[in-house]
Structures are given as C-alpha cells and as structure tokens.
Amino acid sequence: MIFSWSLVNKMKKILKKILIITCLCITFISIGHAENTKENLEFFSMPDMTMAKISPNGQYIATIRYQKHKKKVTLINTETLAESLLLNLDGFFKGKATISQLVWIDDQHIAAQLIEVKKGIEDLLNTKKSQRLLVIKMPYLNEKAKVYSVKTKGWLVHPLQEEAGTFLYAKSSIYSKIYKINVNKLAIEGKKLNKLSKIDGGQFKASNEVSDIYGYATRWFIDQEGNPQAVLHFNEKQNLTLSKFDNKKDVKVLKSWPKNNDEHEESGSKTQVKNLIPIEMAGQPNSFYCLDSSEEEHRTVYLVNYDTGNEEVIYEADSFKIIDLVLSPDTHKLISVKVIKNGLIENVFINDEQLQTVQQRSKNTILMSRVSESLARDKAIVYMESHNNPGQFMLQSNHQSEKQIIGERFPSLSNKLPSKLIESIVKVKGLEIPYLLSIPSNEVKTHPLIVMPHGGPVGVHDNRYYNPIVQYLVANDFAVLQVNFRGSSGYSTKLKSAGKNQWGELMLEDIYQATLSVLAHPEIDEHRVCSFGMSYGGYAALMLTLKYPELYKCAANWAGVTDVNLYFQHPRLRKAQHKWIREHVGVIEMESQELKDISPVYLANSLTTPVFIAHGKKDEIVDIEHAFRLKLMLDKFGKSYQWYVDDEGTHSFGKPAQRQNYFSKLTAFINENIH
C-alpha cells in the first residue's frame, strides 16, 4: 500500500466533522434531558398558594405561599391586586412548621396559628402539639409589619371581629379556660421582656375569663358571636366528654366515651364499633362534624346529632388521612379538610355538591368552593380545581361579572395540561364499578395505557379532580386508568361494603374487567398496557401481571405489599386494626395457604413480565422487608426486574427531588418494557 498524506488530511477533516456532530448531538441530548427534568419537577414541586382569606371589610386578602423554598404570608389589595410580603415564616420554629390556621381578627390584624409537624400530630386528641400564635399587624405606608406573639401555651378559638384587636384564646390544664385577649397588650415577637413586664401583658387572669371547664379541653365549640356552646374535654374519670353550655353557666353532658373505647367490641360480633369524635360544631342544634377515631385512617366525615343519635356520612376523603376540619365562620359549613401530605399540612377543598349525602352527589368535573368572604358578603375568595387544573384562587365581587385569579397552587402548570377525562362504569358480577380514564389531547392516534389502582384499599377512592401523578403520566403521552373497585369509598355503601374479603380476589377482577372495557376505546393501544401503583395499588399492580400476563406487559410498584401475611403481622397494628383485617380480608389464621395464594412473594416463579420494585427505607406502614423478600424470590428464579431504594423515602414519595428521581426512573422503565 502506498502511504498518502492527502488521504490522512481527508480523514482528519472527516473525523473533525464527526466529532463536531457528536458533540452537538450530546449537547442537544443534554439540553433535552435538562428540559425534561425541569418539566418533571413542575409536577412534583411544592404548591405555591395554599390558602387565601379576605379581610372583614373586603379590602385585602391574606395568603399563605411557598416560594423559593420559603413559607410566607402575603397581602393582596382587592382593588389593584398588588401583592406585598407580610411575613417570612422561616425561623419561627427550630423544626418543620406549618400554618394550621390563618384568621383575620379584624381589618388590621391577622392571626397565624403555627404548628410543628412531628410524630403524633395526626392523633385527634394529641395534647402535646407544639403550637404558637403570631398576630400580624398591617403595616402603614413603607413600614414593616409588626408581629406580636402569645407566649402562653394554647390556641386561638375565635376572632372577635366586631371588637377590634381582640380574640378568644384557649388554655388547657386541670381547669381549662377561654380568655379574651387584646392584641395591643401582647409583646412584639423577639423582643425581650424587662423586669416589670408581664408575659402576654398579664392578660391570663380571672377578669378576662370567658368560660371554663373542669378537665383538659381539646376542642372548644364557639358560635358566630363568640359565645362558647360546647367543649370536648377529659372529665374527672379521664373519660373523653362532650359537654354543652346551657345559659352560659349550666353544663350538660351530651356524650361520654370510656377509656380504650376504640377497642370495644360488641358481643358475638366482628363489626368494629364507630367512635365518632366531634371536631367542629355544625349549624344545627346539638349537631357536630365528626371523625371516627376507630377508623383505620380518618377519611370519613360524619354529621352527628348527639341529642337524637342520628348520624350521616357527609364527606369521604379520597386518600390522605384527615387531621382537622375547616368551617365557614358564619354558616358553620364544611369548607375543607386538613391532611398531612408529604410531611406538610395541606387543605383539601370541598365542592358544595360533595356535602350532599354521598349517594346523591352529581358528577361535576369542576370543584368550586367558596373559602372566604367579607362581612358584607360582597366579596369572596373562590377555589376552583379540575382534572387538568391544579387549583386556582379567585376573587369574586358583586361589582364585577367575572372572577379574577389572585393565585394558583402550581402556576408553572397553568394551561399546560391538555388532557381528556372520561368517566364510565363496567359491570362485574352484577356490581357497577366506576372508573376514570385520562387521555392526552394531542394528535397521536393511540396511546399506551397505564392501569393505576389506588391504595387503601377499603375506604379510599380516585376522584375526578387534579392528580399530579396522573397528569405527569399523561404529559408523557400515556393514557391512565383509575378504577374505583369494590371497597372504594366516595360512591355508595353497596360498593364500599362489597370489598369485604376481596383483597386478592374480586378487587383485582374489577380492575381487569375495567381494563378490558377501555381497550375498546379507539385512542388506546391494546397491545401496550402496564400496571403501576402504590401501597395496595403496588400489590394490585404485581398481582395483575401475575394473573393476566398476556394483557399487562410490565408492572411497577412503590411500597407495595408483597407478603400479605407479613403486612398483617405488622407490630404497629392496633387491636382495632386487627379487627378491620378480620372484617375486610377475612383472615382466619395467619400463615394460612389462603394468604400465600394472594401474595406475590409466593407466586414469583410464575412471573413472566418485567417488574420495577421501589421502596422507601423509612416506610413505617409497609415495611421495606416486603421489597427485599420479593427481590430474593425474583433472584432465586432468575426473573427480570429493576430495583430502587430511596434511603430517605417513607410511605410517600418524599420531597420534590425524591419524587422527580423516582418518576424519571419509572417512565424510563415503562417505556422500555411496554411493548
């Protein structure tokens, strides 16, 4: 061969071009990946505006916002919609704190009840919550807002809006009392008291007492004028007691609960007795909104008349545990429920139609809730949400025909979620099973299908409003099926009770039949179906691909139950929860063959499709041992799987970065295997 320098030079030029093209490709790929990462984070970020309250005179709106990793209270002028910072809440607690209540005391003062999120806060009767009350005074011109604080342990129970600068404050001890407090006598937050100063201006004295009761009070019930009507407290026998005030002095016991009442069981019956604890006073005499303390998770709100004994289910939460209720101050109507979501207290707003009897509820796809209004009722804050609208706060005024948006929960997603929602039913064994199908609104003719069973499984349901996981998957060009299988709440007593003893049986059949039903839809690719879920939903996702491998091409789970026997032997389960297991799962004895027959761990050898196993190391509900047991069996039989453990993960997906990391891996797994 004859050596040629010209050939070498040509090769150098070719290689240079290849190198440039390669670098450009890598750059474009990196940019594309960065854009996807940013887009993913938008779905799993912290909400921006979480609450808005209008002043009594309707001139201003106080909001709670989370911006640039900081919690803030801001002020919005209702005429100009100009917004200004009132208070940065960071630093008021050493631990993780959140605002549990935001109240206008009058037109000049806003009270912010702070509570530290820590273990035990979810207990309805927790008497050791770390709380503090801040009172923010509206600033003049360019001045900074003044912040007062109440040092005495307790909580605000009522704003006396018609008495400027005063409010009612509860203090609990052997004798529990309510005091009338004047803001102007409180100390400025952070300012040290001198030797002559008295804590909280010396206002916790007999002359300021409004009402008292013997025993430790956990809840006071106040009417619109600020008069105590009832109190939930522990009596001299340490029994929880609901007492009513007659003529402000006479005390009448409406209801008393003995100790360990949640472990009471009727003779010869496995049915768990409801333990309805009053949380807020309703508008009718002797009626209260209650939660069932014996419920495995507090997800059902009851309206109870303790005089007649009449009780009615008024609202059922879709998933997260309810820890408190929020009512309209004038009508005592339920506005929202407070839940703990990803370690923070969040308000879940309630549609007016949702407060009808559950069976009477219509299928309104837009949630509209009136959350706050001025004393004259000429201005109000309205909250709106739908399946592809993550939530907006709007100002409604009698002087304007259209509502004005004042803030959004996730502004970066505003008008960026084009999708369609289809609601329908499928009949399984004579029972109507409701389902929701979300489909991307784009020009793609067919879409792969993700079947996403909910957790619980009993007493939980998927609703028609915003779900960040569903919308994230839809944005990634997947159709998503959510099935309210038997045992689900939110529809009818018949559907909910039909879930008893069907943990690994007809619940799965319902999901399978709903899947077959939607495959007939022209926009669904019947050959590309995968299952994905969390907790019980993760269990169902695994079982579906085990039972119907010809349909489900892959399965993914987060914190899924893989060994039913292990789950039911969890050391943290209370006696009441064991009763729930007997009633809803039908377990006669542990380690039975029946439990093994419905556990993925013991069926691993039959697996023919790829699975994605993911779990949080700090999960206290479904122990990570479930994941390790399944991994062991999959390794034993040489099955295909992907493995992911979040060292800081709990039963939820954790912080935004943790969620984004997991869902990036999830979509990559599905795209690789859904064929």
Whole-number Å distance between alpha carbons of 675 and 672: 8
Residues 6+ apart with CB under 8 A from 528: 448, 449, 553, 674, 675
Q: What pLDDT score does 474 carry?
A: 94
Q: Does the residue 119 lie in any domain?
A: no
- The three-class DSSP label of residue 317 is coil
Phi then psi for residue 187, to 5 deg, are -85, 150
Q: Which of 377, 411, 429 delimits the end of a domain?
A: 377
Q: Which of 128-132, 251-255, 545-549 has the lowest mean pLDDT?
A: 128-132
Phi then psi for residue 357, to 5 deg, are -55, 140
Whole-number Å distance between alpha carbons of 261 and 259: 5
**Together in a domain, 359 and 424:** no
Whole-number Å distance between alpha carbons of 298 and 317: 9
Report whether pLDDT(36) > 70.
no
Q: Does the residue 403 lie in any domain?
A: no
Q: Which of 377, 400, 430 delimits the end of a domain?
A: 377
Task: Kindly report the CATH number assigned to the domain that includes residue 566.
Answer: 3.40.50.1820
Residue in 105, 267, 262 with CA at minimum distance from that of residue 182: 105
Whole-number Å distance between alpha carbons of 409 and 45: 10
Locate all alpha helices (DSSP H) within 388-480, ordered by sequence: 468-475
Q: What pLDDT score does 639 carry?
A: 93
Q: What is the domain extent for residue 26?
A: 1-44
β-strands 554-558, 611-616 pairing: parallel
- The three-class DSSP label of residue 30 is helix
**Together in a domain, 348 and 424:** no
Residues 6+ apart with CB under 8 A from 55: 61, 62, 104, 107, 374
- The three-class DSSP label of residue 420 is strand
Reported as a single tens digit per residue, the pLDDT across 144-171 is: 888 998 999 899 999 998 889 999 999 9
**Together in a domain, 345 and 447:** no
**Together in a domain, 512 and 367:** no
**Together in a domain, 426 and 516:** yes
Q: Which of 377, 403, 430 delimits the end of a domain?
A: 377
Residues 6+ apart with CB under 8 A from 511: 451, 453, 483, 485, 540, 544
Q: What pLDDT score does 89 carry?
A: 77
**Together in a domain, 370 and 429:** no
Q: What pLDDT score does 235 carry?
A: 86
Q: Which pair of tokens denotes residue 536?
A: 């019980």
Q: What pLDDT score does 116 carry?
A: 64
Q: Does the residue 165 lie in any domain?
A: no
- Average pLDDT taken over every residue of the chain: 82
Burial class (CB in 10 A: 0-12, 13-18, 19+), 268: exposed
pLDDT bracket for residue 473 (50, 70, 90): very high
Q: Which residues pair with 252 in a beta bridge?
A: 244
273/670: higher pLDDT:
670
Q: Does the residue 211 lie in any domain?
A: no
Q: Which of 17-21, 41-45, 240-244 has the lowest mean pLDDT?
A: 17-21
Whole-number Å distance between alpha carbons of 126 and 130: 10
**Together in a domain, 373 and 426:** no
Reported as a single tens digit per residue, the pLDDT across 288-311 is: 999 888 776 677 889 999 888 899
**Together in a domain, 264 and 316:** yes
Single-letter code of the amino acid located at 214: Y
- The three-class DSSP label of residue 7 is helix
Plot region of 591 (φ>0 → left; ψ -120 to 50 → alpha; else → beta)? left
Q: What pLDDT score does 532 carry?
A: 96
**Together in a domain, 352 and 298:** yes
Q: What pLDDT score does 501 carry?
A: 81
**Together in a domain, 476 and 345:** no
- The three-class DSSP label of residue 565 is helix
**Together in a domain, 564 and 504:** yes
8-state DSSP, 272:
B
- The three-class DSSP label of residue 73 is strand
Q: Which pair of tokens denotes residue 373?
A: 């209004």
Whole-number Å distance between alpha carbons of 318 and 490: 7
Q: What pLDDT score does 127 carry?
A: 47
Q: What pLDDT score does 182 carry?
A: 95
Residue in 278, 273, 284, 289 with CA at minimum distance from that of residue 256: 278
Q: Does the residue 192 lie in any domain?
A: no
Residues 6+ apart with CB under 8 A from 605: 633, 637
Q: Does the residue 666 lie in any domain?
A: yes
Q: How far apart are the first and last CA of the chain?
A: 51
Q: What pLDDT score does 598 carry?
A: 87
Q: What one-character-per-residue DSSP string does 415-446 give?
A: T---EEEEEEEEEETTEEEEEEEEEE-SS-S-
Q: Does the residue 571 lie in any domain?
A: yes
Single-letter code of the amino acid located at 329: P
Q: Does the residue 434 lie in any domain?
A: yes
Q: What pLDDT score does 586 carry?
A: 59
Q: Which residues pair with 115 in a beta bridge?
A: 98, 131
**Is 362:328 a contact under the CB 8 Å cutoff?**
no
- The three-class DSSP label of residue 567 is helix
Whole-number Å distance between alpha carbons of 657 and 653: 9
CA distances from 523 to 436, 438, 580, 640 (A): 15, 11, 41, 30
* Buried-state track 567-599, b at ≥16 Cβ within 10 A, e below 16: bbeeeeeeebbebbbbbbbebeeeeeeebeebb
Q: What one-character-per-residue DSSP string does 106-166 give?
A: SSSEEEEEEEE--TTTT-TT-S---EEEEEEEPPPTTPPPEEEEE-SS-EEEEE-TTSTTE
Average pLDDT over residues 394-412: 91
Number of domains comprising the chain: 3
**Together in a domain, 550 and 631:** yes
Q: Which pair of tokens denotes residue 505?
A: 């049986």
